[in-house]
């Protein structure tokens, strides 16, 4: 079995393990169409998000080949959700993780993505994960900055139009 997400705290944020209950609160967080400029897609409905979360909280793919860890990012001060971070575990022998982060545009530019992603990476390291990667749109400078802060570097690999960053 893959590891399960646990609560994580940082200076200004709480990362709460994903539940289906979070869907209703996250619809508003993910409603701004500008979020999808680089990652594609469109704002989810409450039903779509609920179905997505129902699948994700299982914690692994149907065939068991990948593990899924998802956290909702909330502000410690208000408990308001502002985004999410996730890690897809892809190698049981060396525990490697593909990372992703999304912050509502209303909370961008304040270091929340970096703080949340760094807290997630620290937790993952404490749980034996040794290699990290992220796929980032070549024009998404904010996500590239987060990746650099996490110790990732851009590679020559391109996956679905996104640059592969690795530790």
Q: What is the pLDDT of residues 30-69, one digit of tens each?
A: 999 999 999 999 999 999 999 999 999 999 999 999 999 9
Is residue 94 very low, low, confident or very high in pLDDT (cuts 50, 70, 90)?
Answer: confident
The pTM of this model reads 0.96
Residue 148 to residues 25, 85, 113, 145, 166: CA-CA distances in angstroms?
A: 30, 16, 12, 5, 10
Residue 23 exposed, middle or buried by CB count within 10 Å (0-12, 13-18, 19+): buried
What is the rounded CA–CA span in Å between residue 48 and residue 50?
Answer: 5
Domain ranges (residues) in the chain: 8-166
Give the right CATH number for 8-166 from 3.30.70.360, 1.20.120.1200, 3.40.630.30, 1.10.3720.10: 3.40.630.30
């Amino acid at each position: 079995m893959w590891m399960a997400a646990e609560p994580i705290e940082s200076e200004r944020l709480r990362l709460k393990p994903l539940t289906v209950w979070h869907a209703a609160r996250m619809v508003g967080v993910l409603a701004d169409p500008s979020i999808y400029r680089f990652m594609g897609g469109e704002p989810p409905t409450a039903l779509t998000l609920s179905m997505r979360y129902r699948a994700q909280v299982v914690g692994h793919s149907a065939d068991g080949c990948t593990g899924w860890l998802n956290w909702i990012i909330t502000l410690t001060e208000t408990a308001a959700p502002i985004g999410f971070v996730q890690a897809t575990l892809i190698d049981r022998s060396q525990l490697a993780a593909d990372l992703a982060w999304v912050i509502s545009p209303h909370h961008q530019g304040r270091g929340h993505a970096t703080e949340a992603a760094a807290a997630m990476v620290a937790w993952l390291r404490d749980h034996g994960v040794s290699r990290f990667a992220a796929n980032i749109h070549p024009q998404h400078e904010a996500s590239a900055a987060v990746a650099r802060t996490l110790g990732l570097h851009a590679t020559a690999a391109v996956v679905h139009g996104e640059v592969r960053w690795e530790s």
